[in-house]
Amino acid sequence: MLIFILRRVLSGLVLLFVISSVAFLLLYLGGGDIARRILGQQATQEDVAAKAAELGLNRPLLTQYLDWLTHALTGDLGASWFTGEQVSAGIASRFAVTLSLVLGATVITALVAVVLGVWAAVRRGWVDRLVQVISVLGFAIPGFLIAVGLVLLFAIKLGLFDPTGYVNFTESPAGWLRTVTLPVIALSIGGIAGVAGQVRGAVVDALRQDYVRTLRSRGLPFNRVVFRHVLRNAGGPALAVLAVQFVGLFGGAVIVEQVFAIPGLGQVAITSTSQGDIPLVMGLVVATAIMVVVVNLIIDLAQGWLNPKVRLS
């Protein structure tokens, strides 16, 4: 088990290194004359050269990269070229906001999708068809359209929630709830659609396994077999889908945050990319990659817990 974890951590670190290196090369090589872009077309050649020297852009790329990497290893991702704000601090505070949305959506997704999926697999008939319709529609309609629809209906027509803005949980829990409910719902609908169908499939598969019949033949009630044995065996595939969905929800959050004007990673992503604030973009890429690696690690551990074959080999 220890070797299993170590191997996973190692492969995560390699992934992190490769992603950040590739991103660095692409961003700095593809950026053209970065100093010129920051200063604008009217700036003199001298000003541009001075700016490049100030940002260290006149050094060889490899030096710049090693410099960035050594700092990054100590947690220092540099400062924004436009605001001077520390990238790590700026991203950390925004990350918390986005994470609260995504975690909320993931929990709701997992609960609703498992209930719907198991229900559809066991009951079949109309429940099954309902879950299929939800899966298709939720998958097909982009999350931000759902978000726009929710704003139109609940915030503008009915006035039940604040249409935009964000209140910190520590400031006012009620205000926080009022501002995050719609974004979390908008994110969850797509997530539920993605996961419920998969849970249904995994449960249907597990129900067809021979051991289900054998366990029932020993006198175990059907529901007990479903909740103890079928769910546990369907858990592996379901978790894998949930992990993919979690990463997908992060992407979805970028757009949904924009609809609800929530100051999360999405806003950083949009301002930094439209300005060409490369240190901030790099920080974003690294933060995302770390998140992906951590989520995959957690899922791997959970898989090991669920599946003795993984754990013991």
**Stretch 98-157 residues interacting with other proteins (CB under 8 A):** 124, 136-137, 139-142, 144-145, 148-149, 151-152, 156
What the block records as the tokens of 216 is 């029932």
Give the shortest CB-297-to-other proteins separation in angstroms: 12
| Closer to other proteins by Cβ: residue 185 or 207 | 207
| Binding to other proteins, residues 17-46 (CB under 8 A) | 18-19, 23, 26-27, 30-32
**Distance in angstroms (rounded) separating the CA atoms of residues 40 and 242:** 45
Q: Encoding tokens for residue 31?
A: 């950026």
Is residue 214 involved in binding other proteins (CB under 8 A)?
yes
Shortest reach from residue 169's CB to other proteins, in Å: 24
Place of tokens 């001077």: 84
Query: Which three-class secondary structure state does DSSP give residue 58?
Result: coil
| Binding region for other proteins (CB under 8 A) out of 69-77, 107-115, 170-178, 279-287 | 279-287
Residue choice 76, 165, 273, 298 for contact with other proteins (CB under 8 A): 273
Q: How many helices (H) and strands (E) does the chain have?
A: 14, 0
Residue 278 binds other proteins, judged by CB under 8 A:
yes
- Which one, of 179, 215, 39, lies nearest residue 100 by Cα? 179
By C-beta, is 175 or 201 nearer to other proteins? 201
Backbone angles phi, psi at 79, to 5 degrees: -120, 155
Size of the site for other proteins (CB under 8 A): 72
Binding of residue 84 to other proteins (CB under 8 A): no
- Give 190's DSSP letter: H
| Pick from 64, 177, 192, 40: nearest CA to 120 | 192
Q: Which of 48, 186, 262, 269 binds other proteins (CB under 8 A)?
A: 269
Is the CB of 156 or the CB of 174 nearer to other proteins? 156
Identified binder of other proteins from the candidate list 63, 67, 224, 227, rule CB under 8 A: 224
Whole-angstrom CA distances from 29 to 22, 60, 61, 70, 278 are 10, 11, 8, 20, 11
Residue 205 phi/psi, 5° resolution? Answer: -60, -45
Question: Which of 66, 165, 211, 294 is in the footprint of other proteins by CB under 8 A?
Answer: 211
CB of 71 to other proteins, least distance (A): 19
